[in-house]
Amino acid sequence: MASGRTELIRLQRKSSLKRKPIKKRKPQKKKFSFKKHIILPIFLMGFMYGVWHYRYALYYIAFQRIEKNEAIKVSSVTTQLRIFDVLQHHQQKTFGIDVSHYQGKINWDEVTKVQDSFPISFVFVRATAGSVKQDRKFKTNWKKSKQKRLIRGAYHYYRPNENSILQANNFINTVKLQKGDLPPVLDIEDVPRIQSIANLKIGLRKWLNKVEQHYGVKPIIYSGESFYNDHLYKDFSEYTCWVANYNFYVENIDKDWNFWQFTDKGSVRGIKEFVDVNIYNGSKEELLRLVK
């Protein structure tokens, strides 16, 4: 019995000798959160900048937006933000639209402002296309825009694979300019399929010369920015230019553009379809210097 107790005591001592002392745990350092300390503040700053940058547009969308029950197309919120923002930052310039039969029947009595906020001073009306076509709404739009006392202009959609002189005659036979009208507009957007770019330029020059000779005023040239820069800028620099660029990140009119068409999704009371919106790179008084 004594020997058993002695053995138990020995074993207890042995186990106590092997037992390691318990170390106190050091408090763990908090790991750095890149998402919390870097990304989130940047996101919040970007969000607040966006709210401030588009504050007027947001106000319009929230309180002044065209009523949904009206028979009119309203573009996406993102597009509306850009349209309103661009117009807001060009209030020292002059605003206008261009129309054709694609806008359907227009109630010109209601045509006063873009996005219910920015006054319309001028309008370009499509008159002809190619060598034989007349826009089926031209006569009405041409007459009504004059009655509305808007500064009006007529444009021809040029078809690069048709005879340039026949196209010029089509425009001349359709459009009768009056005092106070803007110069004729040549709308060229497409490259030819059956001729070279060099021959296209010869045809454009023939159209421009014939139209200028008839009306006694140098025409305006309209085109997309890429086409204009690639094919027209050097050879037709003496003409007033009207450039289309719908890029969301382009917020200001280029100093070399006389007119800028910056969207085809504008909303105007009296017009049920989307409308192209344009900015003239000057005041209304300066625009009037271009008229016939």
pTM of the predicted structure, to 2 decimals:
0.79
Is 273 one of the catalytic residues? Answer: no
Q: Label residue 62 by pLDDT band (50, 70, 90).
A: low
Encode pLDDT of 239-261 as tens digits.
999 999 999 989 999 999 999 99
Q: From the candidates 7, 70, 110, 189, give the one annotated as an active-site residue.
A: 189
Residues constituting the chain: 292
Candidates 69, 78, 72, 63; CA nearest to 117 is: 63
Whether the pLDDT of residue 281 is over 60: the answer is: yes
Among the ranges given (2-16, 156-170, 188-202), the one the predictor scored with the smallest mean pLDDT: 2-16
Burial of 174 (0-12, 13-18, 19+ CB in 10 A): middle
Q: Label residue 80 by pLDDT band (50, 70, 90).
A: confident
CA distance 159 to 156: 9
Determine the pLDDT at residue 69. 43
Mean pLDDT across 89-115: 97
Q: What is the DSSP string of 59-121?
A: HIIIIIPPPTTSS-----HHHHHHHHHHHHTTTTSEEEEEE-GGG-S--GGG--EETTTEE--
Determine the pLDDT at residue 76. 80
Q: Are 244 and 209 in contact (CB under 8 A)?
A: no
Which architecture characterizes domain 76-288 according to CATH? Alpha-Beta Barrel (3.20)
Delimit the domains of the chain by residue range. 76-288
- pLDDT above 70 covers what percent of the chain? 74
- The encoded tokens of residue 61 equal 């969308």
* pLDDT averaged over every residue in the chain: 86
Whether the pLDDT of residue 289 is over 50: the answer is: yes
CA distance 103 to 97: 11
